[in-house]
Structure 1
Amino acid sequence: MNAILTTNVSASSLAEALKHPPPERGVSLFWLGQAGFLLRTARHCIVIDPYLSDSLAEKYRGRPLPHQRMMTAPIQAGALSGVTHVLVTHHHSDHLDGATLTPLLAASPEACLVLPRAATALAMERIPMVDRSRLIGVNAGETHQLTSDLTLHVVRACHETLEQDEAGNFRFLGYVIDVGGIRIFHSGDTIPFESQVTELIPLNIDAALLPVNGRSESLRAQGVPGNMTAEEAVRLCVECNIRYMIAHHYGLFEFNTVNPAMLDAMALRHTNPVLKRARLHTRYQLEPPTSAEKSE
């Protein structure tokens, strides 16, 4: 047994939940909608791929695919103070959103922004207030010791393609976050690809945060690349011996989502991995096993 996952409805709002002290051990996870998550430990507050604005609704107003929110952002970006690290998996605006990251980084002036090396120039354009010294550019295959107790393993992601820039830096990344005695995999936006399993197995992942909105030819033709289906995400966990999976990247845009009832039905059928549907205002707690549990 590598970890234990529990869930509970934390409060009426994320802001209320975050008023409580961080966990003494393990990691608390909160969904921010789409691919966004907040991870709290005794020493860290890590935000991944936050999209908390309406910038895409403004950008695509009057166009064939309006990006109107189906769910209200669970918190204002400027209310996320005390953040230590922000992780961005790729350059798409629902992951690298200047309207979210500008107030978020202003509210947490000590936070660093970890992102694909291929996207650092774009990040400076979208977040002009941020000092370049706060950006940490990374590439697939690297391991970064961000602090004495926070390690980041960087892996490839395939947002329908494995893209690299002119310098060979991958544009789409996933992160295995080793913190609080737990290893959590955020895949970024990805579909299954050759050698993905062999890259992930040696990392001994406890829990995976995986997109499940799938893909289609019609959306691809309109410039919207897709992700894994829920079935493909479960299969990846089985093949990589990942015990827990939280399904996300649904419920934000009407043209690019899946039925939550389908995810709930899948969750009832699966015990390997244990499958949870990401829900707002819910705390997911991952804890390392006790000595007694390790000996079971």
Structure 2
Amino acid sequence: MDDVHSDWGDWLLRAVEEADPDGLAVWYLGCNGFVVKASDGTTLFVDPYLGTGDPPRTVRMIPVPFDPTDVREADAVLATHEHTDHVHGPSQAPILAGTGADFYAPDAGLDVVEEEDWTGEWDVAREQLVEVGEGDTFEVGGVTVHVAAANDPDADHPVSYVFEHAGRTFFHGGDARPGEAFERVGERFDIDLGVLAFGSVGRIPDKETGEPTRTRWYSDENMVVEAAAQLDLDRLLPTHWDMWKGLTADPTALFEHARSFDAPRRVEVHQIGDRTDV
């Protein structure tokens, strides 16, 4: 497996370590990755991807924010679904090996772990690999994690996550699009901040033929606002718009799309490395 290299050094990881949030703080890692830190120090990584894609088909457009071997504090790594930019051995296995954190993923994600042989290629124990499914609830330190369904037609078994701590609620929807699954989450939880994948329809080379092909992987402007309304989000943070050449988008367009809806009540645009408090 290829090693991951970042030109950013370790400053972002050290900033997370030094942070002392009142409730929950999150840092955007680009693509759909986040670090979540609670007031008790519990630290979780969600969908951290530190690879460069598979050029020329998928080309990373943003920096790699850190080396996974530099992570010193992590209690869990969570994956929303099995795609490479969400389950990726070179990005995630060194975090598990270096910190002893557990890895939570649905069954299709753990199939990728098996195929990539995380326990053989890296110092990862099978006891660190935990399968999750819709309806599960578990505790990681002081954070309660709820596993919910997700509508992602491109994935074999996607899930979404609701994180609760100290009266704050953070939602990570993976790459999912609007649907009944989000309506159920919105009815059950009062979400302070939710992240949803947003991107354009573009042309990228077909995996088999190499021919440029019209491709939709994420919600467009109308779809992401529809999903945010289903979830009844107080704050929407769009993700993934920065990542792939040919599928990037302008997140400021969402301000106008959201203006006539009751939710989301606020749209926030963050760049890779930015922190916000929930």
Which TM-score bucket, shorter chain as reference? 0.7 to 0.9
Q: Which runs of 5+ in 2 are unaligned?
A: 1-9, 207-211
* Cα deviation 1:29-61 (Å, max 9, x = unaligned): 11111000001112211100011123x2xxx34
> Contact 1:190/1:227 (CA < 8 Å) preserved in 2?
yes
* Structure 2 contact 136–147 (Cα < 8 Å) conserved: yes
Q: Residues 259-285 of structure 1, C-alpha deviation per residue, up to 9 Å, x if partnerless?
A: 245357668998842111121232101
Alignment partner for residue 40 of structure 1, among 33, 37, 42? 37
1:232-288 Cα shifts (integer Å, max 9, x gaps): 2223333332201111112121122112453576689988421111212321012xx
Q: Alpha-carbon deviation of 1:79? A: 1.6
Which among 138, 144, 161 is matched to residue 144 of structure 1? 138
* 1:195 Cα deviation from its structure 2 partner: 4.7
What is the Cα-based RMSD across aligned positions, in Å? 2.9
Kindly tell me: are residues 133 and 222 of structure 1, through their superposed partners in 2, closer, same or farther at Cα, counting changes over 3 Å? Answer: farther
Residue aligned with 1:175, SS: strand
TM-score (norm 2): 0.81
Separation (CA, whole Å) in 1 of partners of 2:134 and 2:103: 16
Distance 1:223 1:98 in 2: 29
Further displaced range: 73-82 or 214-223:
214-223
**Structure 1 match to 2:151:** 158
CA shift at 1:200, angstroms?
A: 3.0
> Aligned letter for 1:255?
G
CA distance in 2 between counterparts of 1:242 and 1:72 reads 29
Q: C-alpha distance in 2, partners of 1:177/1:191?
A: 19
Kept after mapping to 2: 8 A contact 1:154/1:173: yes
Please give the residue correspondences for 1:142-291 in structure 2 after superposition, counting only pairs within 5 Å.
142-147=136-141, 149-160=142-153, 163=156, 171-215=157-201, 222=213, 226-263=217-254, 272-286=264-278
Residue of structure 1 in register with 2:4 after alignment: none
Listed one character per residue, the Cα deviations across residues 210-238 of structure 1 (whole Å, up to 9, x for unaligned) are 11115469889959651222332223333
Structure having greater relative contact order (Cα 8 Å, sep ≥ 6): 1
CA contact (8 A) 1:13 1:281 kept: no
Compare 276-285 and 233-242 and name the one that shifted more. 233-242
Q: Indicate which of 119, 126, 130 corresponds to 1:132.
A: 126
Which residue in the other structure is 2:96 paired with?
105
1:115 is matched with 105
Which residue identity does 2:274 align to in structure 1? T
Paired residue for 1:6? none
Residues paired across the two proteins, number: 258
SS in 2 for 1:252: coil
Name the SS of the counterpart of 1:284 in structure 2.
Answer: strand
Partner secondary structure for residue 33 of structure 1: coil
- The answer to whether residue 61 in structure 2 is matched with residue 70 in structure 1 is yes
Determine what percentage of the aligned residue pairs are the same residue.
23
1:90, distance to aligned residue in structure 2 (A):
0.7
Given candidates 89, 93, 106, the residue that maps to 2:84 is 93
The secondary structure found in structure 1 opposite 2:65 is: coil
Do the aligned residues in 1 keep the contact of 2:258 with 2:264 (CA within 8 Å)?
no
Distance 2:72 2:215 in 1: 32
TM-score of the pair, normalised by structure 1: 0.77
Asked if the contact 2:34/2:46 (under 8 Å) is kept, the reply is: yes
Change (3 A) 1:13 1:43: closer
Question: Does the 8 Å contact 1:206/1:243 carry over to 2?
Answer: yes
